[in-house]
Each structure stands twice: as structure tokens, then as C-alpha cells.
Structure 1
Amino acid sequence: MKEKIDLTATEMAYMWSSYQWDSMNIALLTYFQETVEDEQIQQVVDMTLEGSRKHHQKLEEILKSDQVPLPIGFSDKDVHLNAKKMYTDEFILYFIWFIGRGNLTFCSQALNTVARKDISKYYDECAAGGLKLVNHTRDLLLDKGLWLRSPYIPVPKEQEMVQKQSFLNGWFGDKRPLLGMEIGHLFFNIITNSIGLSLITSFVQVTKTEEIKKYLIRGKEISGKHIEVFSDVLKEEQLPVPSSWNFGVTDSEEAPFSEKLMLSIITLLNSQGINNYGMGLATSMRRDVGLHFTRLTAEVLQYAEDGTNLMIDHGWMEQPPKAPVRD
């Protein structure tokens, strides 16, 4: 008989975090399901919510079988289904695309580090689901004329080798045009910051606790500034910038979510933003672009730390699995 293999630290950490984030997604999607009006987008919401619930149940089974205490996460108490419609259907569709992309990225990272077969199988299925959701939402955004395409650049006529160290220049000397990868990361981070800006705008609108509202307003200003920085780089190259679109937020002042959930969502967005900027930095070879990602990452890190302190002060920060103290 085969002995049961214990969860490694990495496997436990990924499963614990997945349980938290799935409960967050379920809370968000439950509200979206209650307020969405477009039939096609309704189907996407239903499909995504059903998938999140299945994943959450499977996570619960695995954690319980390994005697890992279930995280508190989020529940029906964190969602106010009777609140007025806060988000337009178009924003809901964009945000579900954002959820799918986040799931795909997280599951892909998990697959690179987990070893136990049942855990690997779980994240394999989740990654496949995330890819399906990204493709489906992108197709629907395209059909509805909502998808924002990144700029076009000419097709190279022939192979070419880099001849000078000025290839790396940014602030001084000869400055080469942006590479396709650099354009892609700048453009993508404008889109994700725009989604975050819309979401945080809605939270500012309904938050009652003054210190949390001040923190959210600060986040709104940071998102706006980062969008401007990335946009200016594209404009200098005479490349198109994503057009300003409706924030996707109604004028409702009824909070659809608890302040704990809203602050937790911002914490997650901070984490994803840092990850996105890290990818941008890793693939940007022009010094000025790399420096933008470096200094803006530092700003998000500080903002994220202050958010974590707020979570701790309000008793909303759960302790993730950790190593034992060995003196």
C-alpha cells in the first residue's frame, strides 16, 4: 500500500491562497450574476461562477484530507445582493476577462512548483479553465467591439543584428524605437490599471470608514498617474494609446461588498500589479522603460504594505501557512 505523501510548503501555500481567492471570486461573481442584464454576458458570469464553486469545493476536499485548517476567506456576509447595480455589463465582461487571466497566470506558476499528482492535476484543470475563460471573454469583447487592440508596427523586411550599445539607451544619446514586447507591456499595463481604476473608483464611492476611503483615494491617484506615465511613453513614439472609456461605474452609493472584501480585492490587485510590472521590467531593454517599471513597482510595494497594515489593524488579515520557529 502506498503511503500518503504530505503537502510540501509550496503546495500548501498555493492551495491556501487559491481557496482564499476562489471565495473572493465567488463573492464578486454572485453580485455580478444578480445585476448583469446582457444575456451573453450573463452566460459568461454563470459559467465562471459555476467553475469557481467547483474549484472551491475541490480545494476544500484536498485541504481537509490533509488536515489543513480551512481559511476563513469570504462568504455571503461579504456580499450585499440587494444593493443597486454598481457596474455596467461591459465592465463586468472586462473584469471576468481579468479574472481569467489572473487564474491562468497563477495556475501556470503553481504547475511549475507543485509535485503531488492530485495537486498537479487540480492546477492543470484550473489552467485549462482559465485559458478557456480568457479566450471566451476575449472573443465576446471582440464581437461587441469592446476589445482594445495594442498598436501595430511594421513587419521586419529582413533579419538584423544589434550593432551598438545605444540599443539600451533611454534617457540620453541615441534612443531606438520601442520593441514590440515593450509596447505590449506598456499597453497591457494601461488596460489593467484602467480596470483597477474603475474598481477603486466604485469602492471610494461607497466606503464609509474614513481611513479606508483615504487609502482608496490614494490608490486611485496612483493608478491614474501610472496610466499617464505609460501613455506618455507611447505618445513620445507616436503610438496610439488606449482610448479613455467609460469607467463602467454607476452613481450608486450602496456598497455591494463589505469593506473587508473591498480592501482584500485591492490587496490582490496590488500583488498582480507588482507581478505585471516585474514582467515588464524583465523584458524591457531600453533603460528609460525599465526605470519606469522599477520606480512604479516601488510605489506599488509601499502602497501594498500600507494596505496590509490596514488589514491587520482591522483584524482582516489571515495568517498564511508558515514555517515553525526554531531557536
Structure 2
Amino acid sequence: MPESPRLSSSEIGTLWMTYQQKTMILTMLEYFIEQADDSEAKQIMTNLRSTIQQYVGKIESMFEQDDVPVPNGFTKDDVNTGVPKLFDNGFDIMFLRLVKEISMGMHTLNLTMSYRPDVTLLYQELTQITQKCYDDCTQFLLSKGYLPRAPYVAVQKQVEHAKGMNYLGMFNPLKGKRALNTVEIAHIHHSIESNITGMQMIYGFAQSATHKDASDYFYKGGELAKGLIKEMSEVFLQNDIQIPSTAGGNITSSKIPPFSDKIMMYCVSLFCSFSLGGNSLGTAFSLRNDLPTKLTVFMKDIFEYAHEGAKIMIKHGWMEEPPQTIKH
């Protein structure tokens, strides 16, 4: 075996995706750092930016050493600094926290598809960095009152085992559906919380997009997120559980775009992939059969929405292709 084997196909693919995501974050942080009013929030974002820049450079070196084209990713051409605020009231850290949540999942998955020691180490280090930043964001938002905790509930005092098919949610005309268990509550709360931030983000994108088809697409996504929030909130209300809400992350009246339509479309595409994965987990861990049915409908809508977005990106030349294999 050679001392330094070439990058495998999976390593090229995962590094390419990581490069796209990291350059997106770096580009958007340029705007959020400039606009930050809170010194603690600014420090969180500044620390992350300086750290990520090093890893973008490492990926570029890996590609160059293996004669793999370095992706274009996202650059200063995709951000407009010096424009009025599009988001306010803690949205920058709310957004960053959700992006870091996506990153944690991606780094773990990418680690399972890595073989070369330097690539494995890169994802291990990125995982630690991401977890630290995610915790910093969470504690900041909790301290400011922007992040609602999951509902507190009273639980049974003894261990129980499921008795009969009613546990799976078969309708009983006398008892109705069983109460939600805490695993189901956790996934529903997470879905509502994520979609609240996503809805605020995408409505802001719709307000500032320069291309009409992109603006219409963003608005449609906002309505999709709103529908999911409404549906999952209704499940909580039926079970006398408090609905999570946030006092932060409002959209301002500015219509001047801080970001290019290209990077906003990519960001929404990334969030769609995250939503599909999150809803899949929610479906897998929900044993009351009405919940997977609801989530499956939304997964179908999200998949079709993401596909529609891909068509818009291709139409405008905004979709960068991953490295292709050569046909012999």
C-alpha cells in the first residue's frame, strides 16, 4: 500500500459537500458578524469563522494534492455587506445553531465513509468544533430567552410495558388515542422548533430575493414550514401539551438582499435535506401510527419542494456539480 493513498470516491464526495457547506457558512457569517449588536453573539460567530477558514484551506490542499478540481463553493460575491438588517432579535445565533445541528449529523455520517487518516481526523476535529459551537449557541439563546425548552410533563411513577395493539394508536371509541410518550414529544418539539427558525429564514429570503421565481419559491417554502408547525402543534394541543414558541428572530422591513439568490437557494436545499432526515427519524421512533402518517405526507411535500428548487438552480446556473467519474 502507498504511504499516502489517494482520496477514495466517497472521500472526494464528502469533502466536496463539506466544502460547499463551510464556504456557505463563512460567507453568511461575514454579514451576520458585521450586523451583530450583541458582543457575545459576535464573539461566537467570529471564533467559528476563524476556525472554519483553516479547514476550508485543508480541504483545498487535499484536492490539489490529488489533482481534484477545487470547488467554487461560495465567495464574497454571494454576500452584500453594509446593507440594512434583514433579520433581528437573535436570529443570527438561532440560524447558526440550526446550521451546526445539520453539521453534526453530516460530520458523523462523513466519518463513516472516510478511510484515509487525515480525512478521518478532519471530521473528528470538525465534530468537536461543531458540538462546542452548538452548545455555545444553545446556552446563549437560553440566557436571552430566545429558545424555548421542550415541554415539562408529568410521567408515570412505575415502568410499564405495552399491552395490546391500542399502544400503536388503533382507535378505541371509548379511550381514543393513547397519550404521547416522551420520545414522541421530543421529536415533535424538535420538528416545531426547527421549522420556526426555518420559516423565519425563508420568509426573509422571499422578501429580499432578486429573481421572481426564487422569491415565489421561498414564499412557498415558508407556507410549507407553517403548515408543518400548525399540524404538529395541533397534536400537542390534543394532548394538553404546551406549544413551543420563540420571542426572537423577527424579520425586518428591509428588502435589500444581504445574500445572493444562489446562496439562499443552496441554504434552503440544505435545510430541506435536514428536514427529510429529521422527519425520517421522527417516523422511525413514533409508535402511535397516526404520527408517521402525518410526517410521511410532509416528507413527500418537502421532497417535491426540494426537487422544484433544484430545477430553479439549474435554470440559473447556480448548481455546482460534484466531481464526476470518467466514462471509459
What TM-score do the two structures reach when normalised by structure 1? 0.95
1:321 match:
323
Q: Which residue of 2 aligns with 1:105?
A: 105
TM superposition shift of 1:123: 0.2
Distance 1:107 1:3 in 2: 25
Distance 2:170 2:72 in 1: 48
Task: Give yes or no for contact 2:148–2:246 (8 Å, CA) kept in 1.
Answer: no
Partner of 1:190: 192
Secondary structure of the structure 1 residue equivalent to 2:81: coil
Q: Is the 8 A contact 2:166 2:172 kept in 1?
A: no
Letter in 1 for 2:243: V
1:280 aligns with 282
Distance 2:171 2:199 in 1: 29
Does 1:154 pair with 2:154?
Answer: yes
RMSD: 1.6
Q: Deviations over 1:262-302 (max 9, x none)?
A: 11111111111111111111111111111111110000000
Contact 2:24 2:74 in 1 (8 A): yes
Name the residue aligned to 1:216.
Answer: 218
- Give me the whole-angstrom Cα distance separating, in 2, the residues matched to 1:7 and 1:161: 49
Match of 1:308 in 2: 310
Please say if residues 171 and 287 of structure 1, whose CA atoms lie closer than 8 Å, have aligned partners that are also in contact.
no
Question: How many residue pairs get matched?
Answer: 326
Q: String of CA shifts for 1:185-217, please: whole Å, max 9, x gaps.
A: 111111111111111111111113211111111
Could you tell me which residue of structure 1 aligns to residue 51 of structure 2?
51
* Distance in 1, Cα, partners of 2:153 & 2:289: 21
Q: Distance in 2 between matches of 1:170 and 1:307?
A: 38
Aligned to 1:249: 251
In structure 1, list runs of 5 or more residues that go unmatched. Answer: none
Q: After the TM superposition, which residues 1-327 of structure 1 pair with which residues of structure 2 at under 5 Å, given as runs?
A: 2-169=2-169, 174-243=176-245, 245-325=247-327
Checking the alignment, whether the CA contact within 8 Å between 2:94 and 2:249 is kept in structure 1 is no
Aligned mates of 1:80, 1:70 — CA distance in 2? 24
Instruction: Give the residue type in structure 1 aligned to 2:304.
Output: Q
Which amino acid is the alignment partner of residue 199 of structure 1?
Answer: M
Match of 1:94, SS?
A: helix
* Structure 1 residue 244, shift from structure 2 partner: 5.3
Q: Which runs of 4+ in 1 moved over 3 A?
A: 170-174, 244-247, 322-326
The alpha carbon displacement at 1:325 in A equals: 4.2
**Secondary structure class of the residue paired with 1:141:** helix
Residues 287, 172 of structure 1: alpha-carbon distance in 2 compared, 3 angstrom cutoff:
farther
Q: Distance in 1 between matches of 2:241 and 2:327?
A: 53
Distance 1:246 1:315 in 2: 35
Match for 2:144: what amino acid?
A: K
* TM-aligned CA distance change 1:287 to 1:43, over 3 Å: same
Post-superposition offset of 1:323: 4.2
| Percent of residue pairs identical | 28
Distance 1:171 1:203, change over 3 A: farther
